[in-house]
Structure 1
Amino acid sequence: MKARNLLVALLALVALVAVGCGGSSDEPGGGGGATGSSSSSGGGGGKTNLSLVAYSTPQVVYDEVIPEFQKTAQGKDVGFKTSFGASGDQSRAVEAGLPADVVSFSTEPDMTRLVDAGLVDAGWNAGPNKGLVTTSLVAFVVRPGNPKNIRTWDDLLKPGIQVLTPNPFTSGAAKWNLLAAYGQAADGGKDPQAGLDYVSKLIKDHVKVQDKSGREALQSFVGGQGDVLLSYEYEATTAQKKGEKVDYVLPDDTIKINIDIAKTKDAPPAAQSFLDYVLSKPAQEKFADWGYRPVNQEVLDANADKFPTPPGLFTIEDLGGWSKVNDEMFDIEKGSIAKIEEDAGVSTAK
């Protein structure tokens, strides 16, 4: 326990230094650190400063959304400090003292950690958008032209196929990936053992490397490792938009990913203004442009052709909800998937 507390404190210190220094290490081809950051200030001298702490992937979107917010009446005097990194690391850093006014994570347990710490209101997900800023799906990111003809989950288990997915004990993306793998084999949770058997075979026989975050896993794939990357649909579309040579496949059976956002309890009023803007049509269109499924219904309807619904789509609620799933599958002492990872020699340290 003392070692864990020391690790959390060190995470917060590293994140604080990164925010203070500015710059970014989370872009593909960049420094590759778990926590990147950038700074910008609003017009009129930045009378209010907001700290946005988020998981790694949507940095490209916020780099566009923040300047647009600063052009509005509500945002013209608002400056920003931002920090992006692996979702679990970011959540633990805020818990340990990293300043944050708005937080966005890729799994609900990372937000729950801050609720339990008294930093985020327990009703953070009670509004019309249920605390979501976007959604996505777990997809197969493949080489151009899909030379291994990877279409289904069974294809991932073919001899010689190498699969990349990050470490679920640091990455929210990894949890979603493994829940998608589990859920499709478990018939949406109806046959738990079949789901665990599939995850075990996938990890032990086909996953050789588990990076710290979804963004690092993408960098490894783009760098030439593996035949297929399990990742968010929008990781693939973002990579394509940046000129990376990748294709992607949406399997018929996959899980809907919920991306959470909230303000912290002590955040200034400008934090709510920013949240409102992030959910507005102009900002949601920015998310849609990068391949994120908008939660603004008008924007989602306008992009319906871009975001098809797979016939076998299931949700975290179908699997029992995050509280049940996180405890039964990812608890480092008793979780079924944690045991599979441990047996495969993967670090379960957070």
Structure 2
Amino acid sequence: MHIRSRAATAASLLGALVSSSFLSACAPGSGSTSDADTAETISIVGFAVPEAANKNIAAEFQETDEGEGVRFQTSYGPSGDQSRAVAAGLEADYVHFSVPTDVTRLVDEGLVAEDWDAGANQGVVSRSVVVFGVRDGNPKNIRTWADLVKPGVEIVTPNPASSGAARWNALAAYGQVMSDGGTEEEATDYVDKFFENVVSLPSSGRDATTAFLGGTGDVLMAYENEAILAAQNDEGFEYVLPDTTLLIENAGAILEDASEPSQAWLDFVLSDEGQTQFALTGFRPIRDDVDFGGTVEGAADPSNPFPPVETLLTVDEDFGGWDEVSTKFFDEENGLIFQAILGAGLSLE
């Protein structure tokens, strides 16, 4: 078992992602762009989970004065892979990644301004929480984190080598032990047992959902919004919001050489209109005062779609921030989570 070099595969990854890009626009005949169109095109590169929300926000944006005539070219996939592809040359005006370290990679490359996270939102454009997806009727009676590590429970979670969603899941698993008064040794032991029960490590959060819907595993580690969106698409599964979980904060930024309407797009994403569209596809708005109507179809309780969490952990307050997290948990050689995965006999390929 080994951890592959991500930098070594960046060029081939870029080629694969470029071929998967497509253009989305409300104007007819918008299957390609010319040089004249480029200034009015926003190229979005993002992780897989918010694709539906971004499509809805784009449609709303195109109805505004700033968005009139703007076209969208999009590419979605695993967050880490998408970030590496942009660093390798994939065209992007706006990036929407699962974790902020995937944006700071582009800062280090000189592609995104160093102060990208200096605003009131601190670079966060969408939020969610970690939940447990379970089979109809919850036959394994999964209610708590302790239930996940019982013998015979099969877990599906994405691969943290490529997926940001996987990193939130793994941190939540570790953090809930510490929050309950456990030691670092006990938290590490829990994570080891957790990955011993993992039966599938798909490349992205969306691929993990697809695997679970296809019959793999008893429990899906997921974003709350991914569970809600699945129900909206008539592919629903029950989900459990544990008493202790982790706040997921997804990062968004425009690039230094972004097309002219890109800043207006980012402003719209952060506006009440943009955050309403996130809420309606299952994301928790980044501000508590966003009025999305109070009802979200597909939620466990549509009239109370985002119930408060008894103990809500955050990376900054409970883990010391992403710089510390990246070294301690996800270093390719000695990261605690990567070591747990390899120790369980799983592959990070």
- Asked if these proteins are the same fold (TM beyond 0.5), I'd say yes
Match of 2:215 in 1: 224
Match of 2:203 in 1: 212
CA distance in 2 between partners of 1:2 and 1:193 (Å): 27
**Which residue of the other structure, out of 99, 105, 127, is the alignment partner of 1:107?**
99
Shift of 1:302: 5.9
CA distance in 2 between partners of 1:10 and 1:209 (Å): 24
CA distance in 2 between partners of 1:215 and 1:252 (Å): 24
Q: How does 1:238-257 map to 2 (within 5 A)?
A: 238-257=229-248
Change beyond 3 A, Cα 1:178–1:299: same
**Which residue of the other structure, out of 11, 15, 19, is the alignment partner of 1:17?**
19
**Which residue of the other structure, out of 7, 10, 23, is the alignment partner of 1:8?**
10
- Secondary structure, in 3 states, of the residue corresponding to 2:210? helix
Deviation string for 1:53-80 (max 9, x for gaps)? 0000111111211122111100112111
CA distance in 2 between partners of 1:335 and 1:182 (Å): 13
Is contact 1:287-1:294 (8 Å) kept?
A: yes
Match of 1:182 in 2: 174
Deviation string for 1:273-323 (max 9, x for gaps)? 001111112221111011100114321686493212211111111111111
Is contact 1:142-1:229 (8 Å) kept?
A: yes
Match of 2:33 in 1: none
Is contact 1:164-1:230 (8 Å) kept?
A: yes
Match of 1:307 in 2: 306
Change beyond 3 A, Cα 1:193–1:93: same
- Secondary structure, in 3 states, of the residue corresponding to 2:20? helix
Is contact 1:188-1:314 (8 Å) kept?
A: no
Match of 2:44 in 1: 52
CA distance in 2 between partners of 1:305 and 1:246 (Å): 18
Unaligned runs of 5+ in 2: 31-35, 295-302
Match of 1:284 in 2: 275
- Secondary structure, in 3 states, of the residue corresponding to 1:103? strand
Match of 1:25 in 2: none
Amino acid of the structure 1 residue aligned with 2:66: Q
Do structure 1's residue 163 and structure 2's residue 138 form an aligned pair?
no
Match of 2:330 in 1: 330
- Secondary structure, in 3 states, of the residue corresponding to 2:261? helix
Match of 1:140 in 2: 132
CA distance in 2 between partners of 1:233 and 1:345 (Å): 28
Match of 2:24 in 1: 39
Is contact 1:183-1:189 (8 Å) kept?
A: no
Shift of 1:346: 2.7
Change beyond 3 A, Cα 1:218–1:4: closer
User: TM-score normalized by structure 2?
Assistant: 0.89
Amino acid of the structure 2 residue aligned with 1:61: A
CA distance in 1 between partners of 2:68 and 2:55 (Å): 16
Is contact 2:228-2:236 (8 Å) kept?
A: no
Amino acid of the structure 1 residue aligned with 2:259: P
Is contact 2:40-2:260 (8 Å) kept?
A: no
CA distance in 2 between partners of 1:165 and 1:116 (Å): 29
Unaligned runs of 5+ in 1: 23-37
CA distance in 1 between partners of 2:199 and 2:48 (Å): 22
RMSD: 2.2
CA distance in 2 between partners of 1:133 and 1:58 (Å): 11
Deviation string for 1:243-274 (max 9, x for gaps)? 11301110001110001100001112310000
CA distance in 1 between partners of 2:141 and 2:343 (Å): 30
Amino acid of the structure 2 residue aligned with 1:312: T
Change beyond 3 A, Cα 1:284–1:189: farther
CA distance in 1 between partners of 2:173 and 2:135 (Å): 20
Is contact 1:134-1:292 (8 Å) kept?
A: yes
Moved more, 206-215 or 337-346: 337-346
Is contact 2:178-2:187 (8 Å) kept?
A: yes
Is contact 1:144-1:245 (8 Å) kept?
A: no
Is contact 1:42-1:75 (8 Å) kept?
A: no
CA distance in 2 between partners of 1:66 and 1:333 (Å): 40
Is contact 2:46-2:75 (8 Å) kept?
A: yes
Match of 2:300 in 1: none
CA distance in 1 between partners of 2:78 and 2:161 (Å): 10
CA distance in 2 between partners of 1:14 and 1:8 (Å): 10
Aligned residues: 331
CA distance in 1 between partners of 2:134 and 2:4 (Å): 42
**Which residue of the other structure, out of 88, 98, 106, is the alignment partner of 1:96?**
88
Percent identical residues = 44
Is contact 2:130-2:223 (8 Å) kept?
A: yes
CA distance in 2 between partners of 1:301 and 1:160 (Å): 41
Do structure 1's residue 126 and structure 2's residue 118 form an aligned pair?
yes
Shift of 1:118: 0.8
Change beyond 3 A, Cα 1:189–1:13: farther
Match of 1:263 in 2: 254
